[in-house]
């Protein structure tokens, strides 16, 4: 899942993170309710510069209800088919919310472009209306990290994707 690099040239942490995000279809969204009870959900996603992440969910889904009372979320994106001991992931702390108002059309363009590239369809405002039971959500990541490959278990290093 890492990006193409020239032979013998190790990928930078930013290249590794971007490669994982670009190659993955699903992210694990970790939320918590008002009392702090955790919940995680895999969701198909689209992204803008590995900083803004978009997905479509029912507002009645547990993760959506959790976001309405506690918008702070965790996100993990990884290749679940990697052999044991070789996996790499991108970990993020983010703030999530439903997408409303003027940013909706742009967010739908980002989501639709990725959806089309994976065999899905175009999404419109009519597809993410409360009347149809779906909403478009967005999480903005404030922190990114990946695992360091230094032999230490679960040693994460920060990644600057600016």
CATH of the domain at 114: 2.30.110.10
In a domain, 159, yes or no: no
In a domain, 162, yes or no: no
Confidence of residue 52 (pLDDT cuts 50, 70, 90): very high
CB 23 within 8 A of CB 1: yes
In a domain, 155, yes or no: no
pTM: predicted TM-score of the whole model, two decimal places: 0.91
Could you report the per-residue pLDDT of 81-127, keeping only the tens digit for each?
888 878 889 999 999 999 998 899 999 999 999 999 999 999 999 99
Domain, as residue range, for 123: 13-147
In a domain, 63, yes or no: yes
Determine the Cα angle at 51 with ends 60 and 111, to 5°: 55
In a domain, 4, yes or no: no
Determine the Cα angle at 61 with ends 56 and 66, to 5°: 100
């Amino acid at each position: 899942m890492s990006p193409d690099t020239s032979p013998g040239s190790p990928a930078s942490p930013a290249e590794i993170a971007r490669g994982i995000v670009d190659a993955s279809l699903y992210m694990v969204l970790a939320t918590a309710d008002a009392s702090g009870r955790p919940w995680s959900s895999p969701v198909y996603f689209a992204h803008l510069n590995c900083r803004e992440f978009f997905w479509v969910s029912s507002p009645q889904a547990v993760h959506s209800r959790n976001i309405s009372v506690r918008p702070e979320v965790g996100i993990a994106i990884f290749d679940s088919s990697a052999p044991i001991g070789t996996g790499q992931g991108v970990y993020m702390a983010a703030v999530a919310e439903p997408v409303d108002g003027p940013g909706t059309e742009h967010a739908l363009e980002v989501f639709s472009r990725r959806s089309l590239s994976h065999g899905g369809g175009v999404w419109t405002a009519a597809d993410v209306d409360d009347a149809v039971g779906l909403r478009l959500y967005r999480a903005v990541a404030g922190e990114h990290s990946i695992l360091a490959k230094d032999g230490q278990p679960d040693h994460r290093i920060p990644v600057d994707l600016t």
